[in-house]
Amino acid sequence: MLGESDTLWLSFLYSMTFGGFVGLASFLTTFFHEQYGLTRVMAGDLTTVVVVGGSFLRPVGGWLSDRVGGYRLLIWLLGAGALCMALVSSVPPVSMAVLALGVAMGLLGMGNGAVFQLVPQRFPERIGLVTGIVGAAGGLGGFFLPTILGAVKDATGHYTAGLVGVAVVFLFGTVMLLELGAVWLGRWTPTALNRTGVFAYRGALRPVADDPAA
């Protein structure tokens, strides 16, 4: 399965959504404390509010994916997530940072549900194996994110460059999803295309015929 490019792309997407969610959750207390001078208790309280809100939105992402398609939803979620992280990198007032991070965590939480709407559509006969691979990639993303942000902080003395880097990764994921649309239209089954909302942004959008076996 590691030889399947779609497995790797789905793993990359989940490393951004779940990895980004878990990584930020373990990083935000330190960020609020060091960047804004809040007490560790207050920083922990703000982190809890942000994380809990994002956690409850994961099933919302799955629900929306079933209606508009996980592919279409992910494009919007990652693009909006990039904007949120770019805003946080500018070191706004703490109230605005909490709001932006809360929205970002909510978007990532919904993104988790969206990715797992794609997996069974692409690999209906190997759901367990692919889910395990994709889930492992998400765990790795959650490990590396705070490590990298901390290393950038030590090297530059601030978090700006690291947060900009996170925004760029989210933007890259958005662009790659748009590019993958044209590839997936020729590779996925009609049923999977209809359920996930895959489309090609280049040229006229091609309607996907219903699968007679659906």
Residue type, 75: I
Residue type, 115: V
List pLDDT tens digits, range 34-84: 999 999 999 999 999 888 878 888 888 889 998 999 999 999 999 999 999
Which pLDDT does position 209 carry in this prediction?
Answer: 42
The set of residues, in sequence order, having a beta carbon less than 8 Å from that of 202 and lying 6+ positions away, is 182
Arithmetic mean of pLDDT over the chain? 87
The residue ranking higher by pLDDT, 207 or 70, is: 70
- Domains identified in the chain and CATH numbers: 5-196 (1.20.1250.20)
The closest of 61, 99, 94 to 83, measured between CA atoms, is 99
Which pLDDT does position 207 carry in this prediction?
Answer: 43
Which pLDDT does position 111 carry in this prediction?
Answer: 92
Please check whether residue 7 is in contact with residue 133, taking contact to mean a CB–CB distance below 8 angstroms.
yes
Q: Is the pLDDT of residue 213 over 50?
A: no
| pLDDT class of 167 with cuts at 50, 70, 90 | very high
In this prediction, what percent of the chain has a pLDDT beyond 70?
93
| pLDDT class of 208 with cuts at 50, 70, 90 | very low
Q: Is the pLDDT of residue 85 over 90?
A: yes
Which pLDDT does position 2 carry in this prediction?
Answer: 64
Q: Is the pLDDT of residue 210 over 70?
A: no
Q: How many angstroms separate the CA atoms of 126 and 173, rounded? A: 24
Which pLDDT does position 124 carry in this prediction?
Answer: 80
